[in-house]
C-alpha cells in the first residue's frame, strides 16, 4: 500500500469524482439533479425531461423535447435475437440476471457499441433507456408463456412501460406515480452501481459493458435489491396488527431491516418522503391500503427505537406492488430508472477520465518459499 494512506472501509466519505450531475446533501436530506430539486422534478417533470437534463445539462425547450421523445420512441424495439434469447432462458431465471445478459446482448447489436465519443454515447444512452424498458417487460411476458406487448408509440415512457408489462392502457394516476418513481431513482451520485459503471468506464471500456456491471451491482440487497426485500418483509408480517410483534423481534435479534438506513443520509432520504405520499395514494386507489399502513407503522416503530430512517426502497415497495408490478421486477424497474444516471456518469467519466485503480492493504502471510508438491 502507498506510504501514508489509510484503509477506509467501504470507501465511506471518500470523494471519488467531481460531478455536475447530482448534488446530494446528506446532512440536510436534500437532493438535486443538475441544480433542479428532486421534489420539483418528481412532481412536475416527466422522466423523459429528467433524462434530457441528466444527459444534456438543462431542461429541454419544447422543440428539443419533441425531437428527443421521438428518438426514444424510435429506439423501443428490441433486436429479434434478444426476444428469442428470452424464449431460450430458463423460466425460473431471476429477471436481474436476464437484464444483465440483455444489456450485454444489446451491445452486440448496437452500431455504436465500441464508439466512446459523446455523440455515440448519447445515442447509446437513449437506446438503452428505451430498450431496457421493453426488455424487462418482454422477458416477463415470455417467462409467463405470453407474447411480448409491442411498444405503443402514442404513450410516454412510463405509460408505455406499464402497457408493455400488463397489456392494458394504464390509468393516469398510475402513470404519474410510476413516472415520478423513475425520476426518483434516476441518479444518486457515487452509489455502488454508478461507481461500478465509472470504474469500468475508466478502463476505456464501453457503455454497454459498464451498464451490465451496474446492473450486477444494483441487484444486491444492500443496494437496489432492497425494495424487493422490503415487500417480502411486509409479506412476512402479513397484517397491520402483527407489526409490533415483528418489530420487537427484529430489534431484539438486531435484524437488518431492508429499506432502512443509508450510508449518506442520516436525517432522512428526501426520495422516501415523496414516495410515501405516492404509495399512500396508490395503495388506497388499488384497494391494498394495508401494505401502506404496515409500512407506516414499521417506519415509526423502527425510527423511534433505533433512529433509522426509511430509504428510497422502503415506500417504493408498497407503491410498486399496488401498481401491479411483480415483486421480482422491482429491482429491474429501479435499474430502468437508474439507467439515465449511469449513462450520464459514464459520459462524464469519459470526458475527464483517469483510470480508477486504488490500492489494497496486504494482511496475508509473510514471504515464504514455494515447496514442491512432494515436500508439503
**Judged by CB under 6 A, which of 263, 266, 290, 301 binds ligand COA?**
263
Q: What residues between 291 and 310 interact with ligand COA by CB under 6 A?
A: 308
The Cα 233–Cα 321 span in angstroms is 13
Using CB under 6 A, which of the segments 25-33, 77-85, 257-265, 279-287 binds ligand COA?
257-265
The Cα 151–Cα 133 span in angstroms is 10
Q: Are strands 36-37 and 22-25 parallel, antiparallel or unpaired?
A: unpaired
**Position of minimal CB gap to ligand COA:** 261
The mark string for 193-222 relative to ligand COA (x by CB under 6 A, - otherwise) is: -----------------------------x
Give, in degrees to the nearest 5, the angle at Cα 116 between 111 and 122: 75
Is residue 350 at the binding interface for ligand COA, with CB under 6 A as the rule?
Answer: no
The Cα 258–Cα 240 span in angstroms is 18
- Are 58 and 289 in contact by the 8 Å Cβ rule? The answer is no
**Judged by CB under 6 A, which of 212, 312, 333, 346 binds ligand COA?**
312
**Judged by CB under 6 A, which of 118, 169, 245, 256 binds ligand COA?**
256
- Are 299 and 250 in contact by the 8 Å Cβ rule? The answer is no
Is residue 43 at the binding interface for ligand COA, with CB under 6 A as the rule?
Answer: no
Which residue, 280, 286, 281, is CA-closest to 299?
280
Binding footprint of ligand COA, residue count (CB under 6 A): 16
**Judged by CB under 6 A, which of 174, 258, 278, 336 binds ligand COA?**
258
The mark string for 112-151 relative to ligand COA (x by CB under 6 A, - otherwise) is: ----------------------------------------
Question: Is the CB of 221 or the CB of 277 nearer to ligand COA?
Answer: 221
Is residue 247 at the binding interface for ligand COA, with CB under 6 A as the rule?
Answer: no
Question: Is the CB of 46 or the CB of 345 nearer to ligand COA?
Answer: 345
Specify whether 208 is catalytic: no
The CA radius of gyration of the chain, in Å to the nearest whole number, is 22
**Judged by CB under 6 A, which of 259, 270, 337, 341 binds ligand COA?**
259
Q: How far is the CB of 5 from ligand COA (least distance, A)?
A: 21
DSSP, collapsed to helix, strand or coil, labels residue 341 as helix
The Cα 126–Cα 112 span in angstroms is 12
The active-site residue out of 262, 269, 299, 350 is 262
DSSP state of 58: S
Is residue 317 at the binding interface for ligand COA, with CB under 6 A as the rule?
Answer: no
Query: What is the per-residue DSSP string for 186-253?
Result: S--TT-HHHHHHHHHHHTT--HHHHHHHHHHHHTSTTTTTHHHHHHHHHHHH-SGGGHHHHHHHHHHT
Using CB under 6 A, which of the segments 85-93, 106-114, 251-259, 332-340 binds ligand COA?
251-259
Specify whether 163 is catalytic: no
* Cell numbers at 57, concatenated: 445539462
Q: Which residues carry out catalysis?
A: 262, 313
Rule CB under 6 A: which residues touch ligand COA?
10, 222-223, 226, 256-263, 308, 311-313
Amino acid at each position: 500500500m502507498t506510504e501514508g494512506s489509510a484503509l477506509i472501509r467501504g470507501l465511506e466519505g471518500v470523494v471519488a469524482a467531481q460531478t455536475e450531475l447530482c448534488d446530494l446533501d446528506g446532512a440536510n436530506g436534500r437532493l438535486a439533479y443538475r441544480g433542479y430539486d428532486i421534489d420539483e422534478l418528481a412532481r412536475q417533470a416527466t422522466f423523459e425531461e429528467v433524462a434530457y437534463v441528466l444527459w444534456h445539462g438543462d431542461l429541454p425547450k419544447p422543440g428539443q423535447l419533441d425531437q428527443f421523445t421521438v428518438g426514444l420512441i424510435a429506439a423501443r424495439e428490441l433486436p429479434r435475437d434478444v426476444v428469442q434469447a428470452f424464449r431460450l432462458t430458463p423460466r425460473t431465471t431471476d429477471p436481474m440476471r436476464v437484464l444483465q445478459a440483455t444489456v450485454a446482448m444489446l451491445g452486440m447489436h448496437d452500431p455504436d457499441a465500441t464508439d466512446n465519443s459523446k455523440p455515440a454515447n448519447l445515442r447509446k444512452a437513449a437506446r438503452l433507456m428505451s430498450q431496457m424498458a421493453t426488455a424487462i417487460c418482454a422477458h416477463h411476458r415470455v417467462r409467463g408463456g405470453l407474447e411480448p406487448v409491442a411498444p405503443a408509440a402514442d404513450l410516454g415512457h412510463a405509460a408505455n412501460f406499464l402497457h408493455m408489462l400488463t397489456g392494458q392502457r394504464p390509468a393516469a394516476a398510475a402513470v404519474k406515480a410510476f413516472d415520478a418513481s423513475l425520476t426518483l431513482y434516476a441518479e444518486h451520485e457515487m452509489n455502488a452501481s454508478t461507481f461500478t459503471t465509472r470504474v469500468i468506464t475508466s478502463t476505456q471500456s464501453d457503455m454497454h459493458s459498464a451498464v451490465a456491471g451496474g446492473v450486477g451491482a444494483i441487484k444486491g440487497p444492500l443496494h437496489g435489491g432492497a425494495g424487493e426485500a422490503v415487500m417480502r418483509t411486509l409479506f412476512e408480517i402479513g397484517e397491520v396488527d402483527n407489526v409490533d410483534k415483528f418489530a420487537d423481534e427484529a430489534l431484539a435479534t438486531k435484524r437488518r431491516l431492508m429499506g432502512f438506513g443509508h450510508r449518506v443520509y442520516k436525517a432522512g432520504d428526501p426520495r422516501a418522503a415523496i414516495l410515501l405520499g405516492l404509495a399512500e395514494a396508490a395503495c388506497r386507489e388499488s384497494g391494498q391500503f394495508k401494505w401502506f399502513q404496515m409500512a407506516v407503522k414499521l417506519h415509526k416503530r423502527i425510527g423511534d427505537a433505533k433512529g433509522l430512517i426509511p430509504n428510497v426502497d422502503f415506500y417504493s415497495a408498497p407503491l410498486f406492488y399496488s401498481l401491479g408490478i411483480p415483486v421480482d421486477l422491482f429491482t429491474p424497474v429501479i435499474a430502468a430508472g437508474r439507467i439515465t444516471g449511469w449513462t450520464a456518469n459514464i459520459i462524464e467519466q469519459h470526458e475527464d477520465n483517469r483510470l480508477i485503480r486504488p490500492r489494497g492493504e496486504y494482511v496475508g502471510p509473510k514471504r515464504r518459499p514455494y515447496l514442491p508438491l512432494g515436500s508439503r
